[in-house]
Amino acid sequence: MTILIKGLPVAEIAKCQASGNPIVGPGSPTNIVGGMPVTLLGDAVAGPTCVGAIAQTTAINYIVKGRPRVVSTSLASGSNPAALGTPIALPVIGDGGG
């Protein structure tokens, strides 16, 4: 079953990505969707083209542990280590536990 917030799938740690870069957390281990913790604003992103954090979400009214949940179309921002630290912003791709 896919979990939606405002019609967008909820993002989970490890299962969801910011354009190929895994969201590594910490998330909220006590709030589980699809067997994985939900992703929250400020969670880390670490991959080959982006090292940074989730910086923007549209689910600002869905608070978990004092932080908004992340849904598909949220943005991760950071730097691209392969391009000598060039700033980058990428959309989050979530499946809502489906």
Phi and psi torsions of 19, nearest 5°: 50, 50
Instruction: State the pLDDT confidence band at 1, using cuts at 50, 70 and 90.
Output: low
CATH assignment at residue 68: 2.60.200
Q: pLDDT per residue over 71-93, tens digit each?
A: 888 999 999 998 888 999 999 88
Q: Is residue 27 part of a domain?
A: yes
Cα–Cα distance between 69 and 21 in angstroms, integer?
Answer: 18
Looking at residue 96, what is its pLDDT? Answer: 64
The pLDDT tens digits of the residues spanning 52-65 come to 999 998 888 889 88
Residue 83 lies in a domain: yes
Q: Is residue 50 part of a domain?
A: yes
Residue 88: per-residue pLDDT: 92
Q: Report yes or no on 32 lying in a domain.
A: yes
In this prediction, residue 79 carries a pLDDT of: 95
- Residue span of the structural domain in which 15 resides: 4-93
In a domain, 98, yes or no: no
Q: How many domains does the chain have?
A: 1
